[in-house]
């Protein structure tokens, strides 16, 4: 039980990889705070965590709104007093060529995918005890991307640079920070991608990962077993990047 008595805050916790991470952390003894926008989905996540033997609460939070992030972290600290594990999974994508993309969409995506990571790190760090960990969810799109998803790929490249930079500011014995870069994973985000639907991005269903496989990697990177891993990105992609 690697997360017994650990307070685990997970963004994007109501579907896909984030939800699987919540269930895994809870099953390993963690008290999970799942963040998301939809209360119904949040209730389902809490049910799954409790069914797996964990403890959980859902808190509604729109990561596009900095004030909402600040308020939510304050609620977490009032209730739990600390954050042992921070998993930043929530993300959005756009599917337009850059020349056709309204810059308001660029700004919104960067707010959700990148600025929220910086804000959550800034707010949580003073309340993260020795042995704590931050795991940020990147993407193979930071390294190998397709047309019409430039903002998403840019945000994930920035996320990995953030992780590397923050590792120089943190004592890894106090708080570690790392990233996970998933490949194609069986989530709503993958199958709703227009590039996948129209065949511009080829997906071999035989090599698509499961959310639970990503959750296992997240749990490892957040655990004391990874105590000497700091400032790096772990690709969990079924070998996709190895084919470059």
Alpha carbons 143 and 157: distance in angstroms, whole number: 8
Structure tokens at 112: 């959700």
What DSSP character marks residue 146? -
Alpha carbons 178 and 226: distance in angstroms, whole number: 10
Laid out side by side, the sheet with 31-36 consists of: 55-60, 31-36, 7-11, 85-88, 132-137, 175-182, 233-236
Identify which of 85, 80, 91 has the alpha carbon closest to the alpha carbon of residue 16. 91
Catalytic residue among 3, 58, 95, 152: 152
CA atoms within 13 A on the CB side of 125: 16
**Is the separation of the CB atoms in 113 and 152 below 8 Å?**
yes
Phi, psi values for residue 189, rounded to 5°: -65, -40
- Find where tokens 């084919």 sit: 243
Residue 27 annotated to the active site: no
What DSSP character marks residue 149? -
**Is the separation of the CB atoms in 186 and 238 below 8 Å?**
no
What DSSP character marks residue 208? P
Q: Please list the active-site residues.
A: 152
């Amino acid at each position: 039980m690697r997360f017994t008595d650990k307070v685990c805050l997970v963004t994007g916790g109501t579907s896909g990889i984030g939800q699987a991470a919540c269930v895994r952390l809870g099953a390993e003894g963690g008290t999970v705070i799942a963040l998301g926008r939809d209360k119904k989905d949040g209730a389902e996540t809490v049910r799954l965590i409790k069914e797996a033997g964990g403890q959980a609460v859902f808190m509604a939070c729109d990561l596009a709104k900095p004030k909402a992030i600040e308020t939510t972290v304050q609620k977490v600290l009032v209730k739990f007093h600390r954050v042992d594990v921070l998993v930043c999974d929530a993300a959005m994508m756009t599917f337009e060529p850059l020349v056709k993309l309204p810059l308001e969409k660029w700004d919104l995506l960067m707010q959700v995918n990148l600025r929220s990571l910086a804000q959550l790190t800034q707010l949580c760090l003073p309340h993260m005890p020795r042995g704590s960990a931050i795991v940020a969810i990147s993407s193979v799109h930071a390294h190998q991307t397709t047309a019409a998803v430039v903002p998403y790929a840019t945000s994930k490249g920035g996320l990995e640079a953030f992780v590397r930079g923050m590792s120089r500011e943190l004592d890894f014995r106090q708080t570690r920070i790392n990233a996970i870069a998933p490949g194609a994973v069986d989530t709503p985000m993958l199958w709703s991608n227009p590039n996948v639907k129209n065949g511009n991005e080829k997906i071999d269903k035989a090599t698509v990962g499961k959310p639970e496989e990503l959750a296992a990697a997240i749990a490892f990177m957040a655990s004391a077993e990874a105590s000497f891993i700091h400032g790096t990105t772990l690709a969990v992609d079924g070998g996709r990047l190895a084919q470059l």
